[in-house]
Amino acid sequence: MFTNSINLSNEYLKQGEQEKALELLNLNIEIVENEENSIEKINFIKTLAKVYQENGLPEQAKIEHQKYEKLLDSFLINKHKSELIQSSKIQDLKLSENKLLLMEKDRDLNEKMIAFLEREQELDSQTIENQKTTTFILTGGLLIIGLLMFFLIRSRKQQQKNNKLLQLKSLRSQMNPHFIFNSLNSVNSFIAKKDERSANKYLSEFSKLIRKVLEYSQQDFIPLAKEIEILKLYLNLEHFRFSSHFDYSFIVDPKINLDEYQIPPMLLQPFIENSIWHGLRYKAEKGHLWITFTQKKNHIEIVISDNGIGRKASKKMKTTNQKKMKSTGIKNIESRLELIRNLFKTKLEIDIQDYSPTKESGTKVYVKLH
């Protein structure tokens, strides 16, 4: 009656479809329970225990296996009792009793085997838990090491950045004595000429400029409007002294938002100083200096140009000691720009060009402020 279900369930197990095998047997389980004990019922319960085990239900499998053993024992006992009733021989009765004893021993052995397998399964589960714990500890250790490495690297980068900031501050500080020295030479020239009125006027304007320079020199960047304010004060002072050597034009594009763009303080002053002191001052006739600020599509273009004697002629006029030294202001700017690019990732482009030899002499400095 149940042979087909048993055979089909075993086929499902072979195909790895344990759930289908369990569903098939569950359809007949109520009918089986109501049936009298028979070899088909015993085989059905045995197969059901196997299917439970394959579906990862060891407790149900154990219950069905015990039920199978009881049914089998009962079936065999009943069978043997029938044989004993039918047999009148004492020898047959003894043989039957011996068989029952052997079956009981076999059952005891099976129970011990099941207990052993359950214990082995517990040990395997404990081993897996221990492995999980070890893996967790190792992962945690690696994570802690990774975090320590991250903070050490970040601390080192921060230290390098701090060193560069100190170097940048040092370079800004170097600009001030260099600039002040040249300005005081101008005052000294008025005093030497006994032009007290001009000296007083120059010192008054010079003090305004120094206050601005000292105020902004502690900052890495200032608005373009403040840089222009410093340049105008500086140009007024230099023109006051060298008015017979040059005039200047200061042109600012009205489209520029002067407070939006940021620039390192005193970045442009050394270029203007070079134009005056090394280009226009030695020109035979009166020269001109142009400073223009133009709004381009993606940047501000700043051009400092003069029609002075040019860099080649200026170099020939230097002393032997001066030829060995690069302009302090320009060298300072190159170092500052390199540090600014590394620290702030700011795009600042500077290009110095000479006029063509076939045309008038002079120098142009292009600065792109992004």
pLDDT at 165: 46
What is the rounded CA–CA span in Å between residue 141 and residue 84?
73
pLDDT value for 31: 76
Cα Dmax for the chain: 159
pTM: 0.52
Phi-psi region of 345 (alpha: psi -120 to 50; beta: other; left: phi over 0): left
Residues in the chain with pLDDT values less than 70? 1-2, 88-93, 96, 152-153, 155-179, 182, 318-332, 344-345, 356-360
Q: Which candidate, 311, 314, 323, 325, places its Cα nearest to that of 364? A: 311
Can you give the pLDDT at residue 1? 58
pLDDT at 166: 45
Torsion angle, alpha carbons of 238, 241, 244, 248, to 10: 20
pLDDT at 163: 47
Cβ distance 83 to 92 under 8 Å?
yes
Distance CA(73)–CA(75), nearest Å, equals 5
Q: What integer pLDDT is reported at residue 116 of this predicted model?
A: 83
